[in-house]
Amino acid sequence: MCSGKFFRMPTLAICGVVLTIILVCITGITLTNSINISNIVKLREKVASDSAAANGGHQAAQTRAALVEQQYSTLQQHHLSQSDLNYISASTHPKNLQRPLQHQQLPQQQPNKIVIEIGLRSANESASGSKGSGKSASGSGSGTTAGSGNMPLGMPHMLEAAEALMEGNVDSISLPAALPLVASTPTTEKSSKPNGNVNFNVNGNTNKRSSGNSPGSNSNAPTNGTGKSTELNSNGRNSTGGDMNGNNTESNSGRGNSVVMDIRDHNPGGIQFERRAHVKQMMEHAWRNYKLYAWGKNELRPLSQRPHSGSIFGSYDLGATIVDGLDTLYIMGLENEYREGRDWIERKFTLDNISAELSVFETNIRFVGGMLTLYAFTGDPLYKEKAQHVADKLLPAFQTPTGIPYALVNTKSGVAKNYGWASGGSSILSEFGTLHLEFAYLSDITGNPLYRERVQTIRQVLKEIEKPKGLYPNFLNPKTGKWGQLHMSLGALGDSYYEYLLKAWLQSGQTDEEAREMYDEAMVAIMDKMVRTSPNGLTYVSDLKFDRLEHKMDHLACFSGGLFALGAATRQNEHRDKYMEVGKGITNTCHESYIRAPTQLGPEAFRFSDAVEARALRSQEKYYILRPETFESYFVLWRLTHDQKYRDWGWEAVLALEKHCRTPHGYCGLRNVYQQEPQKDDVQQSFFLAETLKYLYLLFSDDSVLPLDEWVFNTEAHPLPIKGANQYYRQAPVTLPVSNAS
Ligand code: DMJ
């Protein structure tokens, strides 16, 4: 219309104005894109050169070291030193226990700059994960937070972006021409309560869904002026076959009509946005670097920028970090990363045709537990199949005269055995006693009772056996059914057995009274024989060796602050107030073990004597390997009390992790928390993604994210649904008769 002999002057003027506007827009968009593109190109180049450097020359050393590392990792996970081994070992000791850790250390670098893209991706980009998006795949030094893919966009994400920009951690922010408007109509659906007398808030606040913060809290929850979140969209809380936000999508083929868990925030008033966004960014950093340097392997070595292939999982590529970390990505709404992981599991994850010697316990809590949670979240049958596949590989370990499983099983031959160092060929309480939640749930979703039967057998042995002074020793011989050495602990070798007694009861919708009774009886004995108070008033759980108290507490035992509190909050009895105080006291003591170290991170074990309190004394107990237990207790205590101090303690820990454990290529543990500038251990544990970051993220989330009366966390922080209380339980419609089950 602007050309031809018929044009007139006014028309020309209008065309000119329109053309000018179009030119300005095009220039602006091009500029914005070029800023981002140049950053992404730079980052990709860096990634490529980093990768090339990392890959050369590592292969051979990796293979040579694999076996030794696996053995070392096993011992480290159990927090066993050489002297511990001398104490408990009946015959042979593993070789190479004194193998020094590598002392490789790179200079600390500036935190990575981030490219933030706020905008909706095209359907193609969404479907193909991160490819071509500049996210994640762009690797070291780059990343995105906020609002990409199918994630809803809104004020929280804008705030994250603005914050990052102000802190100088961002190279650029690009905005779409118009942010989609999203309405807020959270539904108030609530599933039925389990029976029993749950009160998950000891302050009597029963309004879980709008917990908010305690007085004095410094939550900065943004609202849109109406008190409603701008992050919610107008769909209901649930939908069928949809994405992580409960939206219907077509990208979920294969899921059937499954109800997908909705991860949107329904009560922004209960969120500490900046803190939570920071934890999410830590997860992105950990994941991105695992993806860059160790994708499909088990764990990452951030300093060497190569896989940690000789960990407790052996040298096979089982993608432990993927399986362990995937539910955390889901909860954080990192949809593209989640899809990358799901895709890897679908295409690559199998235990067929490999001859790996796996820990029954570790494989169960991380792989079976991780898959089960993902199944509960999504209803995706892939995860149910994989969970069953892994559990089936563990079943030969249960072929013992007592039904108490061995610790290790070969995935090909089915040959099973115990650790040579474990008290005369004993099985370990915290291992065979930490299968119940996963196996019981697996039976319910598959309709195959066999898995539950296996763990019920273990339960019966432990119920009927005579318990010295009411306590459970850490070692039990699977052939004779007799206890090994009378060493009791709520730390290494004992810990999660007690946890699973309480949680089996919770998981059953408080119908498994046997489990609750066994838990209550055990805690009475533990209170009497093992819980002590230091001269300066610190509550701790001591180890007990025969009749002698060893006034030492493992970091692993720091989970018991939350355990005592959770047990107290869920049953009204004569112990309730006392146990709640003990739970708070233990959590406080673990916090003390952190803040008494210059790094503000806690040691692997700490002692109590006339001279010291909550401090490690021996060199082999001064390390910190990114463990979660203390933060787990902060999280549980926060949920139960809404005392702001737990959130503040968690934030202190985040800052300490960032200062000492973060590297340009992921997070490492520390060799000595008492040094001002401690050396790093070059391992990013899979539980850092599965547990540590998840508990910290939930600590700053509202109670409505995984409410404790609907979800129970396995010992690897994989949330499992509570029967009768959670619509995502996904019970199989038909249960096989026992005789047909195999
Ligand atoms: C995790 O694998 C689990 O929490 C386990 O129960 C104990 N150890 C680690 C984390 O420290």
* Calpha distance 160→182 (Å, rounded): 18
Place of tokens 């762009």: 138
**Do residues 484 and 422 make contact, with C-beta atoms less than 8 angstroms apart?**
yes
Helix 513-529 × helix 450-464 angle, to 10°: 40
Measured from the Cα of 366, ligand 1's closest atom is: 2
Return d(Cα 665, Cα 700) in angstroms, integer.
25
Alpha-carbon distance 325 to 228, whole Å? 31
Q: Distance from the CA of 716 to the center of ligand 1, in angstroms? A: 6
**Residue 58 is which amino acid?**
H
Q: Is the CB of 716 under 6 A from ligand 1?
A: yes
What integer pLDDT is reported at residue 281 of this predicted model?
A: 98
Residue nearest (by alpha carbon) to ligand 1 atom 10? 627
Residue type, 642: H
Q: How many residues does the chain have?
A: 742
Tell how far CA 282 is from the center of its chain: 13
> Three-state DSSP class for 307?
strand
Centre of ligand 1 from the C-alpha of residue 31, in Å? 48
Rounded to whole angstroms, the Cα distance separating 570 from 572 reads 7
The verdict on the CB of residue 335 being under 6 Å from ligand 1 is no
Indicate the pairing of strand 299-301 with strand 170-174.
unpaired
Q: Find all residues with CB under 8 Å of 415, minimum gap 6, and list them.
A: 396, 409
The tens digit of pLDDT for each residue in 149-178 reads 333 223 333 334 333 333 333 333 332 222
**Cβ partners under 8 Å of residue 237, min gap 6:** 186, 187, 189, 246, 262, 264, 266
Mutate to test the pocket of ligand 1, among 74, 715, 718 (most ligand atoms within 8 A of CB): 715
- CA angle 294-295-297, nearest 5°? 65
Separation between Cα atoms, residue 667 and residue 282, nearest integer Å:
9
The answer to whether the beta carbons of residues 644 and 216 sit under 8 Å apart is yes
Question: At 170, which helix (H) or strand (E)?
Answer: strand 170-174
Measured at the CA of 564, the angle between CA 562 and CA 569, to 5 degrees, comes to: 90
Indicate the helix (H) or strand (E) that contains 687. helix 686-687
Ligand 1 atom at minimum distance from 691 CA: 4
**How far apart are alpha carbons 117 and 443 in whole angstroms?**
43
Query: Which residues does 317 contact at the CB level (< 8 Å), separation at least 6?
Result: 296, 297, 298, 309, 348
Q: Which of 556, 560, 630, 683 best tests ligand 1's pocket when mutated (most atoms within 8 Å of CB)?
A: 556
Give residue 408 CA to ligand 1 midpoint distance, Å. 17
- The DSSP code for 147 is S
**The 3-state secondary structure of 649-682, one letter per residue:** HHHHHHHHHHHHHEECCEECCECCCCCCCCCECC
Positive or negative: CA dihedral 657, 661, 666, 669: negative
pLDDT (0 to 100) of residue 258: 66
CB 372 within 8 A of CB 390: no
Give the global pTM: 0.74
| Beta bridge mates, 554 | 605
Q: Is 489 helix (H, G, I), strand (E, B) or coil?
A: coil
Minimum CA distance residue for ligand 1 atom 6: 715
Whether 692 is in the pocket of ligand 1, judged by its Cβ within 6 Å, is: no
Q: How far is CA 148 from the centre of its chain?
A: 23
Instruction: Determine the Cα–Cα distance for residues 307 and 312; give it in Å rounded to an integer.
Output: 13
**Candidate of 627, 635, 692, 713 to mutate for ligand 1, largest count of ligand atoms within 8 Å of Cβ:** 627
Query: Which tokens go with 683?
Result: 């391992």
- The DSSP code sequence of 328-362 is HHHHHT-HHHHHHHHHHHHHH---TT---EEEHHH
Query: Which candidate, 490, 350, 374, 511, places its Cα nearest to that of 429?
Result: 490
pLDDT of amino acid 173: 30
Centroid of ligand 1 to alpha carbon of 241 (angstroms): 33
Specify whether the CB–CB gap between 379 and 371 falls below 8 A. no
Q: How far is 41 from 240, CA to CA, in rounded Å?
A: 39
CA 621 remoteness from chain centre: 24
Q: How far is the CA of 687 from the centre of ligand 1 (A)?
A: 7
Q: How far apart are CA 114 and CA 142, in angstroms?
A: 5
Distance CA 509, CA 638 (A): 22
Active-site pick, 431, 604, 629, 710: 604
Nearest atom within ligand 1 for CA of residue 555: 11
Task: Please give the pLDDT value at position 272.
Answer: 97
Give the pLDDT score at 597: 98
User: Which of 630, 652, 649, 634 has its CA nearest to residue 698?
Assistant: 634
Distance 191 CA to ligand 1 centre (A): 31
The alpha carbon of residue 146 and the mean position of all alpha carbons in its chain are separated, in whole angstroms, by 21
Cα three-residue angle 673-489-320, rounded to 5 degrees = 60
Per-residue model confidence (pLDDT) at position 79: 54
CA atoms within 13 A on the CB side of 123: 3
Taking the centre of ligand 1 as the mean of its atom positions, its distance from the CA of residue 234, in whole angstroms, is: 39
pLDDT of residue 2: 35
How does pLDDT run across 640-677, given as a tens digit for each residue?
Answer: 999 999 999 999 999 999 999 999 999 999 999 999 99
- At 311 the pLDDT is 75
Q: Which of 501, 565, 573, 566 lies closest to 709, judged by CA?
A: 566
Told to judge if 604 belongs to the known catalytic residues of this protein, a careful annotator would answer yes
Contact 284, 330 (CB under 8 A): no
Which stretches of the chain score pLDDT less than 70? Answer: 1-243, 245-258, 738-742
Q: Of all protein residues, whose CA lies closest to atom 11 belonging to ligand 1?
A: 627
- What is the reported pLDDT for 519? 98
H or E segment to which residue 451 belongs:
helix 450-464
Transcribe 357-423 into DSSP letters. EEEHHHIIIIIIHHHHHHHHHH--HHHHHHHHHHHHHHGGGG-SSSSPPPSEEETTT--EE--TTST
**Cα first-last separation, the chain:** 77
Secondary structure of residue 609 in the 3-state scheme: coil
Q: Which atom of ligand 1 is nearest to the CA of 625?
A: 11
